[in-house]
């Protein structure tokens, strides 16, 4: 079994790089205020996608992965609320949530 990720649809004017990967969306998080602006991304993305390596003789499964824009992590909220809160540089102050759809299974005809 193998897994492969395809970027099927995305927000903004970003273009895949030479390696085929999309650059991340910009980060609008203001860590000191534990806030962000919701001016990037897209409220809805719609596309039709076809597997370029589809083989009707093989079993396959597909699912959608959605990536949220960066938002403040709980550590940023604590640092903003407790003005004296100090975190080391390795503690993340932002996070990017992910969601996955239910899988769609394909099986070849018998």
pTM: 0.76
> pLDDT by residue (tens digit) across 29-49?
999 999 999 889 888 999 999
Q: Where are the domains of the chain?
A: 1-110
Distance CA 46, CA 88 (A): 40
- Residue 7, SS3? coil
For the segment 73-87, the average pLDDT, to the nearest whole number, is 88
- Phi and psi at 37, nearest 5°, equal -105, 135
Mean pLDDT, residues 68-88 taken together: 89
């Amino acid at each position: 079994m193998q897994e492969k990720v395809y970027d099927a649809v995305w927000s903004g004017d970003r273009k895949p790089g030479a390696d085929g990967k999309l650059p991340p969306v910009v980060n609008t998080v203001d860590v000191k205020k534990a806030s962000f602006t919701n001016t990037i991304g897209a409220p809805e993305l719609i596309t039709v996608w076809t597997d370029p390596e589809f083989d009707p003789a093989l079993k396959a499964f597909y699912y959608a992965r959605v990536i949220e824009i960066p938002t403040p992590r709980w550590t940023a909220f604590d640092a903003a609320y407790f003005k004296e809160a100090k975190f080391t540089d390795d503690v993340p102050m932002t996070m990017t949530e992910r969601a996955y759809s239910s899988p769609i299974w394909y099986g070849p005809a018998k």
